[in-house]
Amino acid sequence: MESLEQWQPIRHAVKVGDYTVDGSKLLVIAGPCVIESESLCIEVAHALKEITTQLDLPFVFKASYDKANRTSIESFRGPGLERGLEILAKVKEQVGIPVTTDVHETWQVKPASEVVDLVQIPAFLCRQTDLLVEAGKWAKAVNIKKGQFADANIMVHAARKVEAGGCKNILLTERGTFFGYGDLVVDMRNLLWLRQSGCPVIFDATHSVQRPSGLGSASGGRREFVPLLLRAAVAAGVDGIFLEVHPEPDKALSDGPNMVPLNFVAELLAMAKELHAVVRKFCQR
């Protein structure tokens, strides 16, 4: 009989900031969906750093300077590139943590890469060759989110496009697949298929419960399913987890219905850490 270890494909270690992502500890990428204000980002970053420090988990703060794919033209998009990067730089300096944000166009990659430690490629843009190559050219590390429409097995090609630009520090993130109209489903087999690329795999537990355009002029979500899917993904052997977090999700300016309340994060991450330890005990990688 094959050992349990043989079910785990080899994954290359990746550098994100001062962290090495190699599966020994769960990487936590978390923060509000969009930069609503400097004070909110500083507040959430400090709180998340305290939690992850107590749990001894590596932490990267995430917030978007621009949400370029909002459902409605009236929806809040963020402060824009220049002001958004100023805020992320302050978070990085004042809180002492790595930061990440998403980019949408090739011209945004270089200025973003000068500030953030990890450039994120949005799911809808995971096949945009020019954007991926440009990210590989300038970014210190790149997180590619698997498109809601994409087969996990083709994501190796997205990673190779980033490598063609020169960057070898690549993460792949699962965030659910379109299921009919206005809903997503997570196929846990994708987590293993993504690993075939040789890249560490991250699970986005909050976008996976999103209901695209579910509120008509905005996306809905079912945040009550976040703990369930998170447990399943950690049990499947992911290398990190992605959470969008807000002190008051129902008042958030973007993605409120699928974001996790800040006061619930400590319990959620403690559970994930313990489960990750059990998985490593039986499936050492």
pLDDT at 218: 56
pLDDT at 1: 39
pTM here is: 0.93
Mean pLDDT, residues 181-191: 91
pLDDT at 60: 98
What single-letter amino acid sits at 82?
E
CA distances from 17 to 44, 49, 156, 170, 196 (A): 19, 15, 23, 13, 24
Residue 73 confidence (pLDDT) above 70 = yes
Q: 243: closest CA among 258, 224, 254, 263?
A: 258
Number of domains making up the chain: 1
CATH number at residue 228: 3.20.20.70
Average pLDDT, the chain: 92
Q: Between these two residues, 283 and 186, which has the higher pLDDT value?
A: 186
Burial label for 283, CB within 10 Å (0-12, 13-18, 19+), is middle
pLDDT tens, position by position, 246-270: 999 999 998 888 999 999 999 999 9
Domain span at residue 41 reads 4-282
CB 132 within 8 A of CB 165: yes
